[in-house]
Amino acid sequence: MKLILAVVRDSDSDLVTQAFTSNNFRVTRIASTGGLLRRGVTTLMVGVEDDQVDSAIQLIRDRTTPAAGDEKRATVFVIEVEKFMQV
């Protein structure tokens, strides 16, 4: 299992979240701030099986708007999950 942390612009967060939920991914949204100008961003946490990582990342690519200049559309971390439980 993997944990995907995706930091996306606020303007893209609704479309990315909707894409995840409509494709049966469970997503948690966290409001955050970052970047040089401290613009609003949203951090998305998505737990996926190993074979779903590429399709989850593709959803992010497909639902984020192209950035101007050197600005990135999203920052994505894929982290190995050793143990997962719900209590």
DSSP code of residue 28: E
DSSP code of residue 71: -
pTM of the model: 0.88
Domain boundaries, the chain: 2-80
Greatest C-alpha distance within the chain: 45
The CATH code for residues 2-80 is 3.30.70.120
Cα–Cα distance, 13 to 64 (Å, whole number): 8
- Residues 47-86: pLDDT tens digits? 999 999 999 999 999 999 887 777 788 999 999 999 988 8
Evaluate the CA torsion angle 5, 34, 18, 28 in order and state its sign. Answer: positive
pLDDT score recorded for residue 36:
59
pLDDT score recorded for residue 35:
62
- Residues 14-34: pLDDT tens digits? 999 999 999 999 999 998 877
